[in-house]
Amino acid sequence: MRGAADMPLKRIILEMGTGNDLYGEDYTKAGCRAVQDALHHSSLILFRSLPVDRDSMQITVNIAVQHPEQVDTQQIASQIPYGTVDVKPVKGGLNVVDAENDTVSIIATAAIAVYLDLPEGKFTI
């Protein structure tokens, strides 16, 4: 990934989550729940502590489900309140089949990576 003036962006956050849809067999719903789970594990206080605009974040969301082509990427992206979001559905997750009741429970995983343009020397700790 590249930022302003073609400088490489630095990944500053990687958060994971899981979500499911037990009855609706909806990969997007399970993916949204996985994203919410990941977001609830994070507190991005750096935006209060550093002179960085939270909308400058470049965010990649990987959603792993058994049928990635059935994921509504716009709905997944709408779960992220700031930055520019790129959603990439990939093969993964888990389908749990209940043959007796002819249902499938969907389990999705999400990996949210946040990138920022942090030029050398701009921030000191």
Which one is predicted more confidently, 41 or 82?
A: 82
Q: pLDDT at position 51, please?
A: 77
pTM comes to 0.87
Q: What is the pLDDT of residue 44?
A: 72
Tell whether the model's pLDDT for residue 122 goes beyond 80.
no
The verdict on domain 10-116 having CATH code 3.30.1330.20 is yes
93 has pLDDT over 90: yes
Look at residue 82 in the predicted model and tell me its pLDDT.
92
Instruction: Give me the long-range contacts of 81-84 (CB less than 8 A, separation at least 24).
Output: 82/54, 82/55, 82/57, 83/54, 83/55, 83/56, 83/57, 83/58, 83/59, 83/114, 84/57, 84/58, 84/59
Q: If pLDDT is split at 50, 70 and 90, which confidence band does 5 have?
A: low
The domain segmentation of the chain, as residue ranges, is 10-116
